[in-house]
Structure 1
């Protein structure tokens, strides 16, 4: 499982969501923009959270979460990394 696989799956799942349609109105670029945007969040959960996946022939479902006992050092822990931002923008 890679960040790219997870963000692609999530982008496909939310591409027709009304809020995502409003945030990313260009339907031709929406899935790619969603994948980049969601990838920033996925990256943080892969590093510091829990990632559960279901595979059939390929990745079929994913759950990203943090345990209630997980403490964050501060707001900076919620920010994407510089590398993640560059990947999302390029």
Structure 2
């Protein structure tokens, strides 16, 4: 595999990473449940990911990007141990992006976040909230490099890691990095499931 450059995300990366995550999650089962309107989802997701990054993830200094010759190719938004809960100030700052993304479906968005919070582990850990690569470069190792970068740090710090897979197809991918499924979060009204996954340090 060709070596991939990985570095911390910067404020100047936000427009590019927001576009990439918007494309990466356009067909995600959970995102499609929260916002069934495909055109509205396509238009709103970049703004949502941009707001989350700008007002929450950058401050934790756990978010990284991997780079191709054309710029940002993949993004991983991590929260450090003890830092996964958003503050009231962060929530207020992100609200316009959330409202635009989930217009008409705010109750579904709240149900999703409440269920995720209820099952979130209490033990300190690195939390992989969001990871995605540009569909045009998928399979070329950009997301793999991001996973390995942060998990190497987890092992060096002897810190566990946690994520929720919103797509069943991705569970085996995370298992290859040492994550194990610990349960199932079932969304209401016939919605899809998320799979909480935990990784002990090595």
**TM-score by structure 2 length?**
0.36
2:32 pairs with 1:21: yes
Q: Which runs of at least 4 in structure 1 moved beyond 3 Å after TM superposition?
A: 69-72
Higher strand share: 2
Q: Looking at both structures, which has the greater relative contact order when contacts are Cα pairs under 8 Å and sequence separation is at least 6?
A: 1
**Are the structure 2 counterparts of residues 71 and 8 from structure 1 closer, same or farther at C-alpha, using a change threshold of 3 Å?**
closer
Specify the structure having the higher radius of gyration (Cα).
2
Look up the SS of the partner of 1:50 in the other structure: coil
Q: Give runs of aligned pairs for residues 9-88 of structure 1, distance below 5 A.
A: 9-43=20-54, 44-56=56-68, 57-68=70-81, 70=83, 75-76=87-88, 78-81=90-93, 84-86=94-96, 88=97
Q: Distance in 2 between matches of 1:2 and 1:77?
A: 22
Q: How many residues align?
A: 85
Unaligned runs of 5+ in 1: none
Q: Distance in 1 between matches of 2:60 and 2:89?
A: 9
**TM-score by structure 1 length?**
0.72
